[in-house]
């Protein structure tokens, strides 16, 4: 490969050298009786096993050069992100799994699709080298936004049940009664990405940009990619969060302008 000259290939021996550092940490924990040894061991093993498995899958998908496995992998990533997002919520209602997965699916696929087809103009569009990492970065952030947004939405409704019902009792529509919670939820879901957009490059270099720099890409190019990615993530997070909150609004507020408080269940 022509680009092999621009970065250093790693051997398993080199990975093993990094493992020595973890062993040193473990020894430190034992010596100081920090009680972290076991957790460190499990975490390191998980890192190794999970990444090796992902590597194997990616290697396969990359070598097949066909749209079907790329789409299948992308779909699996969405489902896993959906499960992860719901597991972070403490108030749930029947249908939250569908709402969450659907809003993650739509927001991430629409934004990733636009990025591949209209912005980066990758040929063919499913080229896994672009499609998979792009989708991965979008998903990781969207799921955070969605779970924060849904958590805030259901929490505001649970704590503020009296306020919601006050508005309904006085003749407010379901939209008027839910709007304060919807606003609150959308803002909360967007906080992490807005924060990272504010400090990006100042406090730390983002992972993708770091990766590109390590791979020998020029800093200007890496920065351009990073800007595009940040905007993609922000758009997908906004779309996904608002989508999930609206889906959940439609489930919790009936057409007869009733708030179905009883549908909300605490998982704690």
The residues that touch another protein, with contacts defined as CB under 8 A, are: 162-163, 165-173, 176, 254-259, 262
CA 19 to chain centre: 28
CB of 249 to another protein, least distance (A): 16
Q: What are the CA-CA distances from residue 48 to residues 55, 57, 140, 167, 212 (Å)?
A: 10, 14, 20, 54, 22
> Which of 121, 255 has the CB closer to another protein?
255
Query: Tokens 């549908």 belong to which residue?
Result: 263
CB of 189 to another protein, least distance (A): 23
> Which of 63, 254 has the CB closer to another protein?
254
CB of 162 to another protein, least distance (A): 4
> Which of 21, 170 has the CB closer to another protein?
170
CB of 95 to another protein, least distance (A): 16
Query: Contacts from 61-69 at CB under 8 Å and sequence distance 24+?
Result: 61/128, 61/132, 62/128, 62/129, 65/128, 66/126, 67/124, 67/125, 67/126
> Which of 121, 256 has the CB closer to another protein?
256
Is residue 255 within 8 A of residue 103, CB to CB? The reply is: no
């Amino acid at each position: 490969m022509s680009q092999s000259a621009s970065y250093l290939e790693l051997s398993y021996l080199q990975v093993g050298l990094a493992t020595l550092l973890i062993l040193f940490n473990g020894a430190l924990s034992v010596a100081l009786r920090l009680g972290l040894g076991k957790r460190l061991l499990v975490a390191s093993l998980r890192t190794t096993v999970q990444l090796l498995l992902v590597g194997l899958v990616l290697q396969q998908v990359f070598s097949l050069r066909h749209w079907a496995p790329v789409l299948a992998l992308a779909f699996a990533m969405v489902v896993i992100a959906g499960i992860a997002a719901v597991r972070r919520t403490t108030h749930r209602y029947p249908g939250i799994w569908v709402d969450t997965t659907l809003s993650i699916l739509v927001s991430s696929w629409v934004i990733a699709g636009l990025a591949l087809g209209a912005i980066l103009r990758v040929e063919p569009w499913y080229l896994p080298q672009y499609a998979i990492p792009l989708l991965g970065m979008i998903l990781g952030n969207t799921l955070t936004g969605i779970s924060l947004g849904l958590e805030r939405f259901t929490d505001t409704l649970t704590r503020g049940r009296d306020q919601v019902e006050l508005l309904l009792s006085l003749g407010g529509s379901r939209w008027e009664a839910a709007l304060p919670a919807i606003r609150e939820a959308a803002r909360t879901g967007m906080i992490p990405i807005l924060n990272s957009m504010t400090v990006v490059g100042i406090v730390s270099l983002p992972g993708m940009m770091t990766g590109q720099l390590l791979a020998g890409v020029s800093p200007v190019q890496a920065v351009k990619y990073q800007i595009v990615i940040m905007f993609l993530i922000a758009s997908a997070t906004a779309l996904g969060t608002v989508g999930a909150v609206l889906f959940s609004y439609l489930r919790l507020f009936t057409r007869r302008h009733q708030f179905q408080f009883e549908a909300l269940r605490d998982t704690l």
